[in-house]
Amino acid sequence: MIAAAARNGGNGTARPLDPALVRRAARAALDEDLGERGDVTGELALPAARHVTAVIVARAELVQAGLPVAREVFALLDPAIEFEPAREDGSRLGRGATVASLRGAARPILAGERTALNFLMRMSGIATATAAAVEEIAGSGTRILDTRKTAPGLRVLDKYAVSCGGGCNHRMGLHDAVLIKGTHRAAGCSIAEAVREARLRGHEPGRITVEVRDLAELAEAIAAGAARVLLDNMDVAAVRSAVRAAAGRVTLEASGGLRPGKLREMAETGVDFLSLGWLTHSAPAADLALEVRAWSS
């Protein structure tokens, strides 16, 4: 199974999700939907003894992501529900393909339907968009990177989905890597001082990034000892010049307004990474549905 953790080291290789985190996310979403009274429609429309067989299907081509969370949604509602994935996360599905089959009591299956689909649709949408971005720049040597522009409370799941689509995870949050941004400098912090302080505090050079806007700031970041530089909102010509100026001395990441369909030319500048906030804040949800195929009392 393709899976991912909070951070995969920037290599596009996925790691398993923490079951406790999955449980918390599923529980919070169910609490939001069910409130204190539960599924009032299901309880009046369906006998307690009613059982169903159902399938989750893809209604369009997509890259699948979110199975661990969908499974947990139904398990929290009724541990007796049988949830059988047809494929692993990271799989490419055609229209009409089965994502998973379910068997069990009708009430909890239908009570969990929308919550499970919400996770699957969001996460598969992110994975599908990421896969499109990765495919667009295939062969260039440049890799696709995510950002912190994620849904509040769902960052690990959003980044998991990026990995399922073949992208690389950046820092999980403010706590696990140094990124010296223009806003820090606007508040009176110099590149040299910030990099020096980061290294004195034991941060690995590879986890220290400086955001720059032009070649002069790039030179300053390299001279300060940063190992990574983020080229902020530079056009293709400027990024190409930055790649030549850096001459392989630092890892370069281009960022700002990038999205699938407009990536190839930027990748061919020779930059190491393209970071796309679009993947986790604007990728369209994938089209999935739960269909009841049979029932018995």
Q: Is the pLDDT of residue 198 over 60?
A: yes
Is the pLDDT higher at 13 or at 154?
A: 154
Q: How sure is the predictor about 14, in pLDDT bands with cuts at 50, 70 and 90?
A: low
pLDDT tens track for 218-274: 999 999 999 999 999 999 999 999 999 999 999 999 999 999 899 999 999 999 999
Catalytic residue flag (residue 217): no
181 is catalytic: yes
Given 3.40.50.2300, 3.40.50.300, 3.30.160.40, 3.20.20.70, which CATH number is that of 137-281? 3.20.20.70
Specify the domain boundaries for CATH 3.90.1170.20 within the chain: 19-134+284-296
Tokens 């220290």 correspond to 208
Query: Is 291 tagged catalytic?
Result: no
Whether the Cβ atoms of residue 265 and residue 234 lie closer than 8 Å to each other: no
Q: Strand pairing partners for 103?
A: 53, 82
- The CATH architecture to which 19-134+284-296 belongs is Alpha-Beta Complex (3.90)
Bridge-based pairing of strands 178-180 and 82-85 is unpaired
* Active-site annotation holder among 33, 136, 232, 268: 232
Residue 178 in tokens:
């140094």
Provide the pLDDT confidence category of residue 205 given band limits of 50, 70 and 90: confident
> Measured between alpha carbons, how far is 106 from 139 in angstroms, rounded to an integer?
48
211 has catalytic annotation: yes
What mean pLDDT is reported for the chain? 93
Q: Which of 23, 103, 149, 199 is catalytic?
A: 149
CATH 3.20.20.70 in the chain is located at 137-281
Q: Respond yes or no: is residue 88 known to be catalytic.
A: no
Torsion of CA 272, 278, 279, 283, to 10 degrees: -150
Q: What is the mean pLDDT of residues 140-147?
A: 97
The structure's pTM equals: 0.93
Is the pLDDT at 11 greater than 70? The verdict is: no
Q: Please write the tens of the pLDDT for every residue from 123-137.
A: 999 999 999 999 999
pLDDT in tens, 150-162: 999 999 999 999 9
Please list, in sequence order, all residues whose beta carbon lies within 8 angstroms of the beta carbon of residue 27, skipping any fewer than 6 positions away. 76
Q: Which of 114, 155, 199, 213 is catalytic?
A: 114
CA–CA distance, 74 with 58 (Å, rounded to integer): 19
